[in-house]
Structure 1
Amino acid sequence: MAAALRGYRRGMLAAIAVALVSTVVAAFTLGSSVLEPAAQAVMQLTPVAVANVLLQRLGVAARPLALLGALAMLMAIGGSLGALLAGVLAVLRHVPPGTDLARRRTRREMGMESAAVLGGAGAIVGVSAADAARRDRLVSGGGRQVFPFEPPLARVSGFPEAGQSPEVTPVAQFYVVSKNAQDPYLDATLWRLRIDGLTRQSIALTFDELRALPRLDQYVTFQCVSNPVGGSLMSNALWSGVSLAALLERAGPLPDAARVVFSAPDGHEESVPLELARRPENLIAYAMNGEQLTRLHGHPARVLLPGLYGFKQVKWLTHIRLAPETHRGYWPRRGWTDEAVIRTTARVDLARAENGQIRAAGMALAGGRGITAVEARVVSSDGRPGEWVPAELHTPPLSGMTWVQWRALLPPPTGVAGADVEARAVDGEGRPQENALNGPFPNGSSGYHRLTVKA
Structure 2
Amino acid sequence: MSPISRRHAALSGVVAAVVALGVAEPVAVLTGPRSAPLIAVGGLVVDLVPEPLKQFAIDVFGRYDKIALLVGTALLLAGFAALLGLAAARRLAFGLAGIAAFAALGVTAALTRPGADGFDALPSLVGAGLGGLTLWAFAAGPLRADGGPAGPATHPGVPEPVAPPGPTPPPMVAALAREGEDPDGWEPSESGGDQESRRRFLRGAGLLTGAAAVAGLGGHWLAGRRGVSAAREAVTLPAPAAPAPPVPAGADLSLPRLAPYVTPNREFYRIDTALVVPQVDPVTWTLRIHGRVRNPIELSFDELLARPMVERYVTLACVSNEVGGDLIGNARWLGVPIKELLDEAGPEEGADQVVGRSADGWTCGTPTSVLRDGRDALLAVGMNGEPLPVEHGFPVRMVVPGLYGYVSACKWLTELELTSFADFDAYWVPRGWSAQGPIKTQSRIDTPRARSRPSAGPVTVAGVAWAQHLGVRRVEVRVDDGPWREATLAPAVSSDTWVQWSWRWDATPGEHRLQVRATDAAGETQPERRSPVAPDGATGRHTVTVTVA
Q: Which TM-score band (shorter chain)?
A: 0.7 to 0.9
Residue deviations 1:235-270, cap 9 Å, x none?
100111111111112222122422110111223101
1:282 pairs with 2:377 = yes
User: In the alignment, which residue of structure 1 is the partner of 2:50?
Assistant: 47
Q: What amino acid is aligned across from residue 310 of structure 2 in structure 1?
A: L
Instruction: Evaluate the alpha carbon distance shift between residue 408 and residue 181 of structure 1 in structure 2; reply closer, same or farther with a 3 A threshold.
Output: same
1:63 pairs with 2:66 = yes
Q: What amino acid is aligned across from residue 15 of structure 2 in structure 1?
A: L
Residue deviations 1:374-412, cap 9 Å, x none?
011222xxxxx22211111112x1111100011111233
1:301 pairs with 2:383 = no
| Residues 258 and 463, structure 2, Cα contact 8 Å, conserved in 1 | yes
Q: What amino acid is aligned across from residue 141 of structure 1 in structure 2?
A: R
Q: What amino acid is aligned across from residue 360 of structure 1 in structure 2?
A: V
Corresponding residue to 2:466 among 365, 383, 396: 365
Q: Which moved more, 1:47-56 or 1:242-251?
A: 47-56
| Residues 144 and 291, structure 1, Cα contact 8 Å, conserved in 2 | no
RMSD of aligned residue pairs (Cα, Å): 3.9
Q: Which moved more, 1:76-85 or 1:342-351?
A: 76-85
Taking the aligned partners of 1:275 and 1:157, their CA distance within structure 2 comes to 31
| Residues 285 and 301, structure 1, Cα contact 8 Å, conserved in 2 | yes
Q: Which moved more, 1:68-77 or 1:202-211?
A: 68-77
| Residues 56 and 440, structure 1, Cα contact 8 Å, conserved in 2 | no
1:393 pairs with 2:489 = yes
2:477 aligned counterpart, secondary structure: strand
Taking the aligned partners of 1:256 and 1:349, their CA distance within structure 2 comes to 44
Taking the aligned partners of 1:311 and 1:64, their CA distance within structure 2 comes to 21
Corresponding residue to 2:304 among 190, 210, 213: 210
Taking the aligned partners of 1:16 and 1:322, their CA distance within structure 2 comes to 46
Taking the aligned partners of 1:34 and 1:87, their CA distance within structure 2 comes to 27
Taking the aligned partners of 2:6 and 2:478, their CA distance within structure 1 comes to 65
| Residues 9 and 113, structure 1, Cα contact 8 Å, conserved in 2 | no
Taking the aligned partners of 1:78 and 1:109, their CA distance within structure 2 comes to 21
| Residues 374 and 406, structure 1, Cα contact 8 Å, conserved in 2 | yes
| Residues 136 and 296, structure 1, Cα contact 8 Å, conserved in 2 | no
Instruction: Evaluate the alpha carbon distance shift between residue 372 and residue 116 of structure 1 in structure 2; reply closer, same or farther with a 3 A threshold.
Output: farther
1:347 pairs with 2:437 = no
Instruction: Report deviation, 1:9.
Output: 4.0
Q: What amino acid is aligned across from residue 388 of structure 1 in structure 2?
A: W
Taking the aligned partners of 1:411 and 1:119, their CA distance within structure 2 comes to 61
| Residues 530 and 539, structure 2, Cα contact 8 Å, conserved in 1 | yes
TM-score, normalising length: structure 1 = 0.84
Corresponding residue to 1:168 among 262, 286, 297: 262
Instruction: Evaluate the alpha carbon distance shift between residue 358 and residue 261 of structure 1 in structure 2; reply closer, same or farther with a 3 A threshold.
Output: same
| Residues 252 and 261, structure 2, Cα contact 8 Å, conserved in 1 | no
Residue deviations 1:258-301, cap 9 Å, x none?
21101112231011222122233211111111111011110011
Taking the aligned partners of 2:482 and 2:203, their CA distance within structure 1 comes to 62
Corresponding residue to 1:23 among 22, 25, 35: 25
Instruction: Evaluate the alpha carbon distance shift between residue 80 and residue 247 of structure 1 in structure 2; reply closer, same or farther with a 3 A threshold.
Output: farther
Instruction: Report deviation, 1:440.
Output: 2.0
User: In the alignment, which residue of structure 1 is the partner of 2:321?
Assistant: 227
**Percent sequence identity over aligned pairs:** 32
| Residues 377 and 410, structure 1, Cα contact 8 Å, conserved in 2 | no
Instruction: Evaluate the alpha carbon distance shift between residue 279 and residue 19 of structure 1 in structure 2; reply closer, same or farther with a 3 A threshold.
Output: farther
Gaps of 5+ in 2: 95-139, 141-147, 152-179
2:416 aligned counterpart, secondary structure: strand
Instruction: Report deviation, 1:10.
Output: 2.2
Instruction: Report deviation, 1:55.
Output: 2.6
Q: What does residue range 114-129 of structure 1 map to in structure 2 within 5 Å?
A: none
Taking the aligned partners of 1:113 and 1:4, their CA distance within structure 2 comes to 17
| Residues 322 and 533, structure 2, Cα contact 8 Å, conserved in 1 | yes
User: In the alignment, which residue of structure 1 is the partner of 2:293?
Assistant: 199
| Residues 477 and 516, structure 2, Cα contact 8 Å, conserved in 1 | yes
Taking the aligned partners of 2:226 and 2:245, their CA distance within structure 1 comes to 28
| Residues 359 and 408, structure 1, Cα contact 8 Å, conserved in 2 | yes
Instruction: Evaluate the alpha carbon distance shift between residue 132 and residue 295 of structure 1 in structure 2; reply closer, same or farther with a 3 A threshold.
Output: farther
Taking the aligned partners of 1:29 and 1:392, their CA distance within structure 2 comes to 56
1:138 pairs with 2:229 = yes
User: In the alignment, which residue of structure 1 is the partner of 2:503?
Assistant: 408
Gaps of 5+ in 1: 380-384
| Residues 201 and 251, structure 1, Cα contact 8 Å, conserved in 2 | yes
Q: What amino acid is aligned across from residue 405 of structure 1 in structure 2?
A: Q
Corresponding residue to 2:412 among 293, 297, 316: 316
Instruction: Evaluate the alpha carbon distance shift between residue 165 and residue 112 of structure 1 in structure 2; reply closer, same or farther with a 3 A threshold.
Output: farther
1:377 aligned counterpart, secondary structure: strand
User: In the alignment, which residue of structure 1 is the partner of 2:519?
Assistant: 426
| Residues 360 and 408, structure 1, Cα contact 8 Å, conserved in 2 | yes
1:369 aligned counterpart, secondary structure: coil
Instruction: Evaluate the alpha carbon distance shift between residue 20 and residue 411 of structure 1 in structure 2; reply closer, same or farther with a 3 A threshold.
Output: same
| Residues 368 and 401, structure 1, Cα contact 8 Å, conserved in 2 | yes
Instruction: Report deviation, 1:145.
Output: 5.8
Instruction: Report deviation, 1:142.
Output: 5.4
Q: Which moved more, 1:156-165 or 1:198-207?
A: 156-165
Q: What amino acid is aligned across from residue 13 of structure 2 in structure 1?
A: G
1:378 pairs with 2:474 = no
Residue deviations 1:341-367, cap 9 Å, x none?
111111111138578222111100112
Residue deviations 1:171-203, cap 9 Å, x none?
111111222221211111111111111112322
TM-score, normalising length: structure 2 = 0.71
Instruction: Report deviation, 1:28.
Output: 8.7
Q: What does residue range 235-274 of structure 1 map to in structure 2 within 5 Å?
A: 235-274=329-368
Taking the aligned partners of 1:114 and 1:426, their CA distance within structure 2 comes to 64
1:330 pairs with 2:431 = no
Taking the aligned partners of 2:326 and 2:212, their CA distance within structure 1 comes to 30
User: In the alignment, which residue of structure 2 is the partner of 1:182?
Assistant: 276
| Residues 247 and 493, structure 2, Cα contact 8 Å, conserved in 1 | no
Q: What amino acid is aligned across from residue 322 of structure 1 in structure 2?
A: L
Instruction: Evaluate the alpha carbon distance shift between residue 117 and residue 446 of structure 1 in structure 2; reply closer, same or farther with a 3 A threshold.
Output: farther
Instruction: Evaluate the alpha carbon distance shift between residue 417 and residue 83 of structure 1 in structure 2; reply closer, same or farther with a 3 A threshold.
Output: closer
